[in-house]
Amino acid sequence: MMRCKSSIVILSISYLFLALGVNGSAKKSSLLDPNSILKTIESVDGEVIDCVDIYKQPAFSHPRLANHTLQMRPSSYPIGLKPKSIFASGGNSSEEVKFQKWHKNGEYCPEGSIPIVTSLAGDFPEKKTHPFSFSTNTVTPAGSKAEYAAAFFPGSGFHGAMGDINIWNPNTKEKEQSAAQLWVTDGEGENIDTIEAGWTVSTYTNHPTLFVYWTADDYKTTGCYNMGCPGFVQTNHKIALGAFLDPASTYGGQQLFVSILIYRDDQNGNWWFNIQGQDVGYWPPDIFNGGLKGTASLLEWGGEIVNSNPGGIHTATGMGSGHFPSEGYGKAAWFKNLKYISDGGREVRDAKGITPYATKPNCYDIEVKDWDTDMEVHFYFGGPGYSSTCQN
């Protein structure tokens, strides 16, 4: 068993990626029944968000979820991690962290519905293939390839992971993307299951957007971003997957960062996604083929870009802030407070001993730092891409 689990670490190098794909917007014509839309909101930044009846969301079109019972909230939280709502009633509204731009008008979808961004639905090609072909011993680029600077943490029996990521809007070139995210993974070969969450920027949006992703067969035929296909079940009526994040926002006098948590509900096996103290929704175990029907064996945090090698040279798409980790706090992008959840889903522990890996350190790099009281387990990552030291 240990040998099987350790093989995932080798394979992880091949699927730390974000290929050209949808921004998570669901096409009204194919995924949404017009009669399911209870309200439409247009933000000042041009986003169109449909408030969809929670029981008529795309997730329930998945054949394995035909008889699924909607779970509105987790049955329990890991010890010490019960989220505090950033939208708590009775609080000072000026203290709300309005980390998505459509929040600024103070309008949200009504309870009993979920927000789905539909304004850019037709502008994003869906991801069809994995950017790498690989076997047990080889990794071969196939077409546009991903590059990354990330830290991985192998083990067994993981019930989740968490971390804080600061938000940037790096330069991206045509048909390319840049992302910072968390992965929770298990399985082998074509049965690799993974769930992912973070932010991404592409030339289609020119804004950082919140995303989640999943696959149940190593990215071969299953999975999608956000609500782009049936699978992820959303319960939150105030947070829109695929909506613009606001890097200019501040929290406690600091540049905006988001706290991301993915954790398993041991009562039913649902994998919950939580951001900024808000449970957004979950991946039911029924959509997976193997590994994530149970617990995870590999956790990863980091940045990635798609490099299409325009004109035969390395792309100038930036990762993170577009600055190298050596430039430090204030310039370089970071992940901090990295933790994992183990021991029956109850114990939260520091992810000490994470292993850094960078595909091309001259283009994008990562520096894991010593634990400290402010940032705990943390690292800096990123880079500008094409430069005098990053040619191809």
Residues 325, 109 contacting (CB under 8 angstroms): no
Per-residue pLDDT reduced to its tens digit, 261-272: 999 998 999 999
Block means of pLDDT (10 residues each) for the chain, length 392 residues?
37 36 36 84 87 94 92 86 48 53 85 88 39 31 69 92 93 88 87 91 85 89 88 95 76 70 93 92 93 92 89 92 94 95 85 93 96 94 94 85
Distances (CA, A) of 43 to 39, 40, 156, 294, 383: 13, 10, 43, 40, 32
- Distance (Å, whole) CA 70 – CA 171: 40
Catalytic residue selected from 304, 327, 347, 367: 304
> Which residues does 46 contact at the CB level (< 8 Å), separation at least 6?
119
What are the tokens at 117?
């961004």
Tell me whether residue 376 is one of the annotated catalytic residues. no
- Ramachandran bin of 219, using left for φ above 0, alpha for ψ from -120 to 50, beta for the remaining angles: left
Catalytic residue selected from 47, 176, 196, 300: 196
pTM (two decimals): 0.85
What is the DSSP secondary structure assignment for residue 323, as one 8-state letter? S
Tell me whether residue 176 is one of the annotated catalytic residues. no
